[in-house]
């Protein structure tokens, strides 16, 4: 029997273990899949029994964690190894932040979408960091889902400056039901626009927001350094009414400016077909009667 009755013989598996191909398979890896290791008795041994053949190549490998306790009793818990070929090479750049603005460490990562989901990023600095104006050097520490880590040197520049963002809008010549409509919402800042976001009720009219544009050219993700950025509302409206658009623009220092716009979608009058049905003769000196009707296509 166990000498320490306070310890549990009921291990709890987290059910999955994400790893990269080629990982070093050992007992420490297996313990990473146990939620309550501290509750188990000292001297408990752990092993992995795969349902099928197992390798550390990419793939999903179901099986059981096999626990052997100091008294010789055993118990199994189901678990699956998810071996995924992740990109664990984050690319970073300096962060520019306005004094008092919230620091988002992901603003310093240029390839966030290439990294595995659930990657965690932290910041360690060589000195004391605050959001007071100054330059702060340190490292971004990345922790991946399998527990592996890497870091990248980075500098955070905190400045004290007002935002110079200006937001404007231009429209297509016609904004009618069934006709192509575009409504451009642009932001300008001499120090650079980071992003332009659109929200509102435009989807109710069958309209959608375009990708982000940099001086008229499609841009991937957020912009850095470009003084002009924009998004469009585009599509063929399905009904008349008032479209409301909320524009949120962020500059390179984290400053935000927001502004509301609205525009009208009107009936498509050019789709009304006017026809004339003559009734009687149209002669000099004779009475002429015309019947007019309008038909919507």
Q: Lowest-confidence range among 52-61, 109-118, 126-135, 285-294?
A: 285-294
The average pLDDT across 168-176 equals 83
pLDDT one-digit tens code per residue, 17-46: 676 666 667 787 788 888 888 889 989 999
pLDDT of residue 8: 61
pLDDT of residue 291: 42
Q: Which residue has the higher pLDDT, 88 or 52?
A: 88
pTM for the predicted model, two decimal places: 0.47
How far lies 116's CA from each of 24, 64, 81, 155, in Å?
19, 25, 16, 24
Burial of 86 (0-12, 13-18, 19+ CB in 10 A): buried
Reported as a pLDDT band with limits 50, 70 and 90, residue 225 is low
Percent of the chain at pLDDT exceeding 90: 22
Angle at 226 (CA atoms; ends 108, 102), nearest 5 degrees: 40
* Whole-angstrom distance, CA of residue 276 vs CA of residue 282: 13
| Residue 115 exposed, middle or buried by CB count within 10 Å (0-12, 13-18, 19+) | buried
By percentage, how much of the chain surpasses pLDDT 70?
76
122, β-bridge pairs: 141
Beta bridge partners of 240: none
Given a cut of 80, whether residue 250 has pLDDT beyond it is yes
Backbone angles phi, psi at 296, to 5 degrees: -85, 135
Distance CA 125, CA 141 (A): 10
Coil, strand, or helix at residue 2?
coil
Q: Which residue has the tokens 């003084």?
A: 227
Structure confidence at residue 85 (pLDDT) = 75
Confidence (pLDDT) at 224 = 53
> For residue 92, what pLDDT band results from cuts at 50, 70 and 90?
very high
96 phi/psi in degrees, rounded to 5: -110, 125
Residue 256 has pLDDT above 70, yes or no: yes
Query: pLDDT tens digits, residue range 265-277?
Result: 998 766 555 444 4
Question: Over 70: is that where the pLDDT of 293 sits?
Answer: no
| Candidate ranges 48-57, 252-261, 277-286; pick with highest mean pLDDT | 252-261
Q: How far apart are CA 269 and CA 288, in angstroms?
A: 28
Please, which pLDDT band fits residue 288 given cuts at 50, 70 and 90? very low
Q: How far apart are CA 11 and CA 73, in angstroms?
A: 13
Distance (Å, whole) CA 244 – CA 230: 17
Q: Is residue 109 predicted with pLDDT exceeding 70?
A: yes
**By C-alpha distance, which of 54, 70, 96 is closest to 192?**
96
Q: To which H or E segment does residue 277 belong?
A: strand 272-279
Residue 251 pLDDT: 80
Residue 82 φ then ψ, to 5°: -105, 105
Q: What is the CA radius of gyration of the chain?
A: 32
pLDDT digits (tens, 9 = 90+) for 53-81: 777 677 888 888 899 999 999 999 988 88
* pLDDT attached to residue 168: 87
* pLDDT (0 to 100) of residue 215: 60
How far apart are the C-alpha atoms of 251 and 222, rounded to whole Å? 11
């Amino acid at each position: 029997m166990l000498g320490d009755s306070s310890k549990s013989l009921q291990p709890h598996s987290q059910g999955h273990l994400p790893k990269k191909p080629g990982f070093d398979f050992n007992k420490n890896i297996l313990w990473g899949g146990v939620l309550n290791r501290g509750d188990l008795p000292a001297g408990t041994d752990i092993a992995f029994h795969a349902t099928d053949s197992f390798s550390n190549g990419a793939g999903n490998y179901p099986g059981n964690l096999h626990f052997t306790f100091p008294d010789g009793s055993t118990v199994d818990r189901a678990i699956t190894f998810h071996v995924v070929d992740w990109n664990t090479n984050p690319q970073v750049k300096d962060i520019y932040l306005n004094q008092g603005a919230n620091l988002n460490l992901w603003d310093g990562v240029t390839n966030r979408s290439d990294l595995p989901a659930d990657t965690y990023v932290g910041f360690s600095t060589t000195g004391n960091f605050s959001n007071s104006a100054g330059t702060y050097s340190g490292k971004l520490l990345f922790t991946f889902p399998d527990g592996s880590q890497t870091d990248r040197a980075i500098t955070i520049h905190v400045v004290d400056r007002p935002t110079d963002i200006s937001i404007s809008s231009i429209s297509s010549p016609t904004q009618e039901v069934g006709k192509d409509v575009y409504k451009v919402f642009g932001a300008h800042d001499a120090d650079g626009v980071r992003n332009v976001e659109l929200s509102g009720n435009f989807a109710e009219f069958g309209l959608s927001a375009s990708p982000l544009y940099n001086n008229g050219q499609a841009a991937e993700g957020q912009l850095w350094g470009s003084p002009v950025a924009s998004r469009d509302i585009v599509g063929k409206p399905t009904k008349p009414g008032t479209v409301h658009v909320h524009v949120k623009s962020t500059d390179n220092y984290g400053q935000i400016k927001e502004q509301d716009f609205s525009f009208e979608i009107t009936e498509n009058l050019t789709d009304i077909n006017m026809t004339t049905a003559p009734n009687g003769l149209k002669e000099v000196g004779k009475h002429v009667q015309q019947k007019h009707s309008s038909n919507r296509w």
